Amino acid sequence: MKENNRTYRIIISGGGTGGHIYPAIAIANAWKEAHPDAEILFVGAEGKMEMAKVPEAGYEIKGLPVAGLQRSLSLSNLSFPFKLLKSLRMAREIVKAFDPVAVVGVGGYASGPVLYAAQKKGIPTLIQEQNSYAGLTNKLLAKRAGKICVAYPGMEKFFPKEKIQYTGNPVRKDILDLSGKREKALAHFGLEKDRKTVLVLGGSLGARTINRSVLAEMKAFEDDGYQLLWQSGKFYYEDMAEKVKISALKHIHVKEFIKEMDLAYAAADLIVSRAGALSVSELSLVGKPVVFIPSPNVAEDHQTKNAMAYVNEGAAILLKDAEAIGKLKETVDPLFADLDKAAAMGKNIKKLAKPDAAKEIVQALESLIS
């Protein structure tokens, strides 16, 4: 897409977790599909996972030293203002040098300085808010943003109503159609076709309660004919893998991180997951029964709010974090005993899907530019 023979340049900023990074990459891919000659630059936070994941997806990324404030008293908080000021200066330099026609912020530490720098220069900005509870940075930047793309209704309590567009969260394209992938998926992960497959997801870094819940009942799961495909996360993998090895259980497949999520979803009969924004959006497209165990360690308990939006539609089951250890299997068992209920949940969750989110965000961005 060009104006006066100039290739349109887009900056996409933010990251920190997969919940920010993968929607950002999905937006970039959709923009490139619509406008193959466009140039896209990502800006992330140094040391965060976007610095590896974005280049893997084929895009250039620059890092800022910005970091968040720790909720507890910490010496690292003393360096916060210095890192912020340096990041603001670097963001101004990046924006000036790249000369984007628009900037997209997806949340995360780097999003703030870059959107602020763009807004000061009068460059159109679009905010993509994944959660049902808006983050502080996005709320502060919303007044000068041109469009705010959201994944949940009722977001006018955080943002100017006239700027909101209800698009849903963009997700990885490879999960939009899982048909015909089950056999390949079972072979890829070394799973048996005659066992009930439970996919357990705690996010890219891991979820302590979910991991402890699996450890507590993994023998009972295997003894009753289940197999578990278990993403334990970066922080917990070595410990979990060692415990599975000691247990000598053959059908508990623990992974640090699952890159081939389309195959993981295709293999699963049922999914146990945190209720982060990206997870909820992806699982609605997958259309299989889900048990949500929301993290209690998030702002305004927004994961519970995310999950309840689905539970209230008969599209998922909620298991509280405080009750999960020792109760995971008794929550899962009835869904395999009542296949009609499980199928109904799968249909209900699919009704809440927004498969064209990335395309709608691209259209919103186009309207800002034009």
Residues 110 and 231 in one domain: no
Residue 278 labeled ligand binder: yes
**For 231-243, how does the pLDDT look when each residue is reduced to its tens digit (9 = 90+)?**
999 899 999 999 9
Residue 258 labeled ligand binder: yes
Residues 153 and 206 in one domain: no
Residues 249 and 142 in one domain: no
Q: How far apart are CA 267 and CA 184, in angstroms?
A: 9
Residues 294 and 310 in one domain: yes
Residue 74 labeled ligand binder: no
SS3 102: strand
Q: How far apart are CA 201 and CA 366, in angstroms?
A: 35
Residues 158 and 181 in one domain: no
Residues 83 and 226 in one domain: no
What's 15's domain CATH number? 3.40.50.2000
Residue 128 labeled ligand binder: no
Residue 279 labeled ligand binder: yes
Residue 76 labeled ligand binder: no
Give residue 252's pLDDT.
Answer: 98
**For 97-154, how does the pLDDT look when each residue is reduced to its tens digit (9 = 90+)?**
999 999 999 988 899 999 999 999 999 999 999 988 888 889 999 999 999 999 988 8
Q: How confident is the model at residue 5 (pLDDT cuts 50, 70, 90)?
A: very low
Residue 273 labeled ligand binder: no
**For 27-40, how does the pLDDT look when each residue is reduced to its tens digit (9 = 90+)?**
999 999 999 999 99
Residue 132 labeled ligand binder: no
Residues 209 and 303 in one domain: yes
Residues 148 and 185 in one domain: no
Residues 161 and 264 in one domain: no
SS3 354: coil
Residue 362 labeled ligand binder: no
Domain count along the chain = 2
Residue 17 labeled ligand binder: yes
Residue 270 domain boundaries: 174-351
For a pLDDT cut of 90, what percent of the chain falls above it? 78
Residues 148 and 200 in one domain: no
Beta bridge partners of 358: none
Residue 18 labeled ligand binder: yes
Residues 100 and 42 in one domain: yes
Q: Which of 138, 120, 152, 133 is nearest to 14 (CA)?
A: 138
Angle of helix 302-311 versus helix 277-286 axis, rounded to 10:
20
Residue 5 labeled ligand binder: no
Residues 136 and 83 in one domain: yes
Give residue 4's pLDDT.
Answer: 44
- pLDDT(219) > 90: yes
